[in-house]
Amino acid sequence: MSKQELELPNGWVNCHLEDLTTAINSGFPSGKHNKSEKGIPHIRPMNIDYNGKIDLSVLKYVEVNSKDLLQKNDVLFNNTNSPKLLGKTTLIQSDTNWAYSNHMTRIKLNQSLVLPTWISIYLHKLFWQGYYTQIAKNHVNQSSVNSTDLSKKVTIILAPLNEQKRIVSKIEELFSKIDSTKQSLEQTKLQLELYRQSLLKSVFSEFGKDSLSNISIINPAKPGKGEIDDNLDVSFIPMKCVEEESGKIDLSNIRKFGDVKKGFTYFQNKDLIFAKITPCMENGKIAIVDNLKNGMGFGSTEFHVIRFEDEYSPKFYFWYLIQDIFRDTAEQNMKGTAGQKRVQTNYLKEVQVPISTIEEKKQTIQIIEEKMPLIQNTTQIVNSTLQTLQTMKMSVLKQAFEGKLVPQDPNDEPAEKLLERIKKEKS
């Protein structure tokens, strides 16, 4: 018995989408999107968010025949995306003037048999569970589920129609409460981040400035040939081992010097590593390397290395470089093609940074480290609570599709009988 085919409550039945649909089809591709908002919106995968809501913050427009637009109660399924994002599903709440791309599948349902909201919630639940990776066809950096597989391979749990209405109503009630709490927590998280950035901005505002290359060595040379034994153990830090914004590093990777001395970036204890490539730089992959095996390490070629003479500068400049305002400016000065843009060495050498005495650096670090733990700990609590809320949503859906969320009514017509009658009407 599969995970989707567990024992069902009385009156419930397993079926497939093809039993419930009146039409199922994908949209159309377009290489002629308008940036001037001419034509009609073309709904694409990015227009469905993680929670199954329509997001119109980024739209592209197409000029097409308007006869095939999304309508009220259409269910829209994201059929092509990265494996993690495949299967996002939403319900169209009203008639629209929206077209939809070939990466979206429109599902029209027999509403005498099933609520569109029931199917939308159910399919999106499977997305949260990562179900679609089991039936997807995999391509380079993408996975897909075609209309046929969606219709025939996905098992749908169907409750009696009246019970569907009660369950959906309860889900929406509970989700509304969860979302309200989530919104408040997100606002708290935003305020914490604003305070964090304000703190950093204030502590650095009084200093004079000089170019970074005048106070540090940027991308220092590797050890000379023969200086280090090839069998010496050294730390190895790929990009994925640097945590965003926290400065934490996973130091569990150890390699032989001879295996990494060519083709990787070199650094030593107390160096500051700064991700130069998008989106790692924008996401704050910046860290002070320390406790390296035998005092040295190698890592991704997408790191810049900044070396200072005194012991207080690494922390002082870590806090300066991690600021949103610094990363935003660096982003504006990146060079390269989309997806491969980088902060150039010359930019890093010439960028203006605060200069201060050793004592001023000590005092600045002390101020930051007195206040930052409270911000970070509170943010962690908020993030943990947000994750708990998502878990609560999954718990609600689990109960819903096990028939445990609302009481059953023995007077409801069993879904199996209703399904059989609809099939007879079709034949």
The string of pLDDT tens digits covering residues 109-136 is: 999 999 999 999 999 999 999 999 999 9
Q: What is the pTM of this model?
A: 0.77
Question: Is 60 exceeded by the pLDDT of residue 273?
Answer: yes
pLDDT in tens, 9-29: 999 999 999 999 999 999 888
Beta strands of 196-330 (E only): which ranges? 208-211, 217-218, 233-237, 254-256, 265-268, 272-275, 286-288, 296-299, 303-307
Q: Which two tokens stand for residue 135?
A: 């039936």
Domains annotated on the chain, with CATH: 13-159+412-426 (3.90.220.20), 208-355 (3.90.220.20)
- The predicted pLDDT at position 384 comes to 97
Question: Is 50 exceeded by the pLDDT of residue 4?
Answer: no
- The predicted pLDDT at position 295 comes to 95
Q: What is the DSSP letter of 131?
A: G
Percent of the chain beyond pLDDT 90?
84
The residue with tokens 């908002």 is 37
| 3-state secondary structure labels for all residues of 374-390 | HHHHHHHHHHHHHHHHH
pLDDT in tens, 211-238: 999 999 999 999 988 899 999 999 999 9
Nearest to 114 by CA among 145, 156, 153: 156
Q: Contacts by 115-119 with C-beta closer than 8 Å and gap 24+?
A: 115/161, 115/164, 115/165, 115/168, 116/73, 116/74, 116/75, 116/91, 117/91, 117/168, 117/172, 118/159, 118/164, 118/167, 118/168, 119/17, 119/20, 119/75, 119/156
Helix (H/G/I), strand (E/B), else coil: 248 = coil
- The predicted pLDDT at position 92 comes to 97
- The predicted pLDDT at position 58 comes to 87
